[in-house]
Structure 1
Amino acid sequence: MSLARRTQPTTHHEAFTVPPTSSYHEFPSHQNSRCTSSTSTSLTWQLSSAFYAKDGRRNQLQKNDETSTAVPTPRALTRTRDSTVGVTRRSAASTTRHGGQHRYLPAVTTSTSRLRPSGVAARDRLRLWTPIGARNTLDEHGRPTNLTGKDLEQILSVLEKVWAEGTREVYGSGLLTFHIFCDSRGVAEQQRAPAPSIIVAAFISDMAGVYAASTIRNYVFGVRAWHILHGLKWEMNESEIEGLLKAASTMAPPPRKKRQPYTVDYISALRCGLDLTTEPLHIAVFACLTTTFYTAARLGEFTVKTLTGLKSFKPTEHITPADVRVEVDDKGLRSTVFRLPWTKTSATGEEVSWSAQDGDTDPDAALKLHMRVNSPLAIGPLFAYKDKSGRMKALTKAKFIQVVHAAADKVGLEHLQGHDIRIGLTLEYLLQGVPFDVMKVKGRWASDAFQLYLRKHVQILAPYMQARSHEHEEFVRITMPPVRRR
């Protein structure tokens, strides 16, 4: 079955095809492979915690806040302080043990009204929660215009596109938290928008020490976006607000334990907890995992969020088998290329690729097995699988994590998250000596984020720090700004 979509060739292109069963090289059986119940103790596994310094997860405060009007649960606090933003007073009844730390249960919900209807998803709150004094058909002098309600709705529809859906979801959480704070203080609707600087300053101060600094900043930006979207002025004492945000970063609760990234050894061990002989779902998950890993992609670029609704599969946004092709360069080197129709950093899409690997984690073998067993439609989700009734289902991110965690439990591995996959390949290739700039392109990293990871791993930097070495010159070339000539 051909998976290729016709493109203008720049190198020699081939269709990605599934070999006949008789010629297909299957994965080795569990009995013949290196399946063990213990985790790997390889160098990459031992050193990965030092490398993985940045917690890539979205803050737990925002993760499950889809339609709830209860404030998200904040991290554990390190000092005694009363806060009205989503936490109860410190008592045994209001805490729960989690990983040896206290976590606080949601205690307060926002009031509902015609301005803030209940049951609105976080991503829609900026638009559907209307402030008093929002944009109307009058001009700034109170004179009527010829505009209609439909014109105003079109302004909202266009303007909200300035923020990506994920950003609107985070901002919606911040807007909820802001209104809970205002409810607790009895702040009138007229003082919530346009909000005076003193209200926003008090809001920040109340969150300081409860939330991470980045969360507080995002929540304030969410209130600001709400003002902009509805045509209200945002006039703050900027020096005071920025000072409070900086101060909040020094009062932030301690970060969560740093997680390990995925490694080749981890994936190889995880494979032993999957059924790659009779379970189509496991076969799809393993193919998705190895492809995501070896392309250094984001997990969300190869999975869908939901099976139904706005976040379900769309061929204009999600990869299909028709978006896969094989390229061969003039030296005969083969790469499998995946055209991602849409990514969080490019609305026009990007391309990622991998080449066949040795061992149990070979993405080429995993993808061919998936295509042979599940046979996804050419214009359907790439990693669709057959459920128990034989129906095809798109692989959601939640289902992927569920299967991977169950496999990890089966073989005694630590639970890892989706972002850890992309970090893992970066670590793996850097330890193999792949140059910084090559890995930066491979992982589509922004320069500042990429260098943040590099500074955390002595073993990666060691070859570049030797006296008068070629690697040292390469390191300086990449990390030092160019000299300006006058």
Structure 2
Amino acid sequence: MSLHHLSSPTSQSPASPPTSLVPGPSHLRPQCKAGEQIFLWWGTNSPPPSTIDNPVIRHIASLASRTSLRDTTSYGAGLQKFHLFCDIFSIPEADHPQPGDSILSISSSTPFEPVSVGVVQKYLSAVRAWHIAQGWPPPLSKSHHDCINWSLHGLENIQISRRRPLRPPVMLSMLAALKATLVLSDPFDACVWAIVSCAFFGMMWFSKVSVTSQAAFTPSKYLTRAHAFFGVDLLGSPYACLDLPSAKTARAGEIQSVFLNKQGDLCPLAALCNLAQVVPALADDPLFSWRDSRGDIHPMAKVQALERINSILIAWGWGTSFGHSFRIGGASFYLAKKIDPEIV
């Protein structure tokens, strides 16, 4: 049985970056969505042809290039950072496609922001992908990467003291407090409870049960009502199956499933059924969604969910929890029940 009929403030889009942190205007960088920048932004030189001069072959090559990356938005953000770097350090436009030893000057008012080593590596991947998408070979050799990784290792050691605090696990008592406080007949709270219960007992990433913003939701990446099913196993026990359309550990086009079973008073199956009743929706609507006073449906934004969750946990005397706290808590719960660690 599919949960096709499975929102409280409106989520807000992230604030736009200040003007000083936007690359200068250029006809080589037309206005477009972040996910299109890697394909529509160009360098000053034309790349050599990568296929035979046939419109059908060129079209196929273009399609293949555009579908080779699963999330072009983050690459577009990295590419924007690269051009911003070039502007700040006065690197000529002609040198943007292949950064080398062209750093000329630095202003004393240069804006810097601390980023993790992982983010730096993503920025480098974006520049590499941009070159390949435009028809150029990768700009950095293995020896270049060895030197960069050496420096990144040092920066990582410097940043150790600035790392985010450890994620405390959510406990069963905290789940009970959340359920006792949330108004399960309210669309927003019903959605929060379904998220909390499924994230804990399904050991799910919080990014799979919530979105960064309303505009970020897409059925190809996030759970919809059509991705959720109820069933009964061979022993007659009910379960719910959530088919993730996108997962970090899945190959392109591969679907991974999260199975949930009954869990007493904190049962995720009951939480999903309550959500379906309180917030009826269509098959393509977000699974974890709520309706506002006008009847408009919204995907649950991560920041909103965590604000509601933490306001309750703090009031009950616990500290702040993070999205990953539910996955950690769920893993601890199953390990305490003597479930094989390999299964967990």
Task: Check if 1:123 corresponds to 2:30.
Answer: no
Shift of 1:121: 4.1
**Partner of 2:337 in structure 1?**
432
Counting only pairs closer than 5 Å after superposition, residues 77-116 of structure 1 correspond to structure 2 as 108-116=21-29
**Root mean square deviation of aligned Cα:** 3.7
1:436 match: secondary structure: coil
Three-state SS of the structure 2 residue aligned to 1:260 is coil
Instruction: For 1:113 and 1:268, locate their aligned partners in 2 and report how far apart those are by CA, in whole Å.
Output: 56
1:7-46 to 2 correspondences below 5 Å? none
Are 2:37 and 2:76, in contact at CA under 8 Å, matched by a contact in 1? Answer: yes
Q: Does 1:213 align with 2:117?
A: yes
Contact 1:315–1:379 (8 Å) recurs in 2:
no
Residues 3 and 324 in structure 1, CA contact (< 8 A), matched pair in contact too: yes
Cα 1:114/1:275, change in 2 over 3 Å = same
Q: Is the counterpart of residue 337 in structure 1 residue 241 in structure 2? A: yes
Structure with the greater alpha carbon radius of gyration: 1
TM-score normalised according to structure 1 size:
0.58
2: CA distance, partners of 1:384 / 1:110:
36
Q: Decide whether the 8 Å contact of 1:302 with 1:319 is kept in 2.
A: no
Measure, in 2, the Cα distance between the counterparts of 1:390 and 1:154: 43
Partners of 1:209 and 1:322 lie apart in 2 by 39
User: Does residue 1:158 correspond to 2:70, yes or no?
Assistant: no
Residues 1:351 and 1:266: Cα distance change in structure 2 (over 3 Å): same
* Mapped contact 2:44–2:94 kept (Cα < 8 A): yes
Residues 392, 226 of structure 1: CA spacing in aligned structure 2 closer, same or farther, 3 A cutoff? closer
Partners in 2 of 1:108 and 1:319 — Cα distance?
Answer: 35
Q: Against the structure 1 CA distance between its residues 139 and 239, is the aligned structure 2 distance closer, same or farther, given a 3 Å change threshold? A: closer
Task: Check if 1:3 corresponds to 2:6.
Answer: no
SS at match of 2:166: coil
Secondary structure of the equivalent of 1:124? Answer: helix
Q: Structure 1 residues 339, 216: closer, same or farther in 2, change over 3 A?
A: closer
Determine helix, strand or coil for the equivalent of 1:268. Answer: helix
Is 1:281 the counterpart of 2:188? The answer is: yes
Matched, 1:271 2:271: no
**Does the aligned pair in 1 maintain the 2:117–2:152 contact within 8 Å?**
yes
Secondary structure at 1:352 match in 2: strand
Runs of 5+ unmatched residues, structure 1: 6-16, 19-63, 71-106, 440-486
Letter of the structure 2 residue corresponding to residue 260 of structure 1: P
C-alpha distance in structure 1 between counterparts of 2:141 and 2:256, whole Å: 41
* % identical equivalent positions: 20
Answer yes or no: is 1:373 the counterpart of 2:281: no
In the aligned structure 1, how far is the partner of 2:113 from the partner of 2:153? Answer: 8
Offset of residue 228 of structure 1:
0.7
Query: 1:332-365: CA deviations, max 9, x gaps?
Result: 4433222334434432312211111134x22233
Q: CA deviation at 1:298?
A: 2.5
Q: Deviations over 1:77-121 (max 9, x none)?
A: xxxxxxxxxxxxxxxxxxxxxxxxxxxxxx644212111235x44
Instruction: Count the aligned residue pairs.
Output: 327
2:131 alignment partner in structure 1: 227
Q: In structure 2, how many angstroms separate the alpha carbons of the residues matched to 1:416 and 1:210?
A: 23
Match of 1:415 in 2: 320
Q: Which range moves more in the overlay, 385-394 or 288-297?
A: 385-394
User: SS at the partner of 1:354?
Assistant: strand
Structure 1 pair 365/317, CA: closer, same or farther in 2 (3 Å)? Answer: closer
Please tell me the residue identity of whatever aligns with 2:27: R
Structure 1's 236 and 129: CA in aligned 2 closer, same or farther, altered over 3 A?
same
Deviation of 1:281 after TM superposition, in Å, equals 1.3
Which deviations, in whole Å up to 9, do the C-alpha atoms of 1:194-233 show, x marking residues without a partner? 334x469x9xxx9999532222222112111111111112
Distance 1:173 1:65, change over 3 A: farther
Does the 8 Å CA contact 1:293/1:425 hold for their aligned counterparts?
yes
| Closer/same/farther in 2, CA of residues 155 and 317 from structure 1, 3 Å limit | farther
Q: 1:325 aligns with which of 217, 230, 237?
A: 230
In structure 2, stretches of 5+ residues that fail to align are 7-12
Equivalent of residue 291 in structure 1, options 181, 193, 198: 198
Counterpart of 1:98 in structure 2 is none
CA distance in 2 between partners of 1:195 and 1:281 (Å): 49
Q: Distance in 1 between matches of 2:279 and 2:67?
A: 36
Deviations 1:374-411 (A, max 9, x none): 23345543333332234444434444334324434544
Larger RCO: Structure 1 or Structure 2 (Cα < 8 Å, ≥ 6 residues apart)?
2
- The verdict on how the C-alpha distance between 1:419 and 1:152 changes in structure 2, with shifts beyond 3 A counting, is farther
Q: Which residue of 1 aligns with 2:10?
A: none
Secondary structure of the equivalent of 1:438? coil
Partner of 2:263: 357
Distance 1:236 1:345 in 2: 27
| Residue of structure 2 equivalent to 1:256 | 164
Change (3 A) 1:260 1:385: same
Matched residue type, 1:175? L
CA distance in 1, matches of 2:144, 2:300: 47
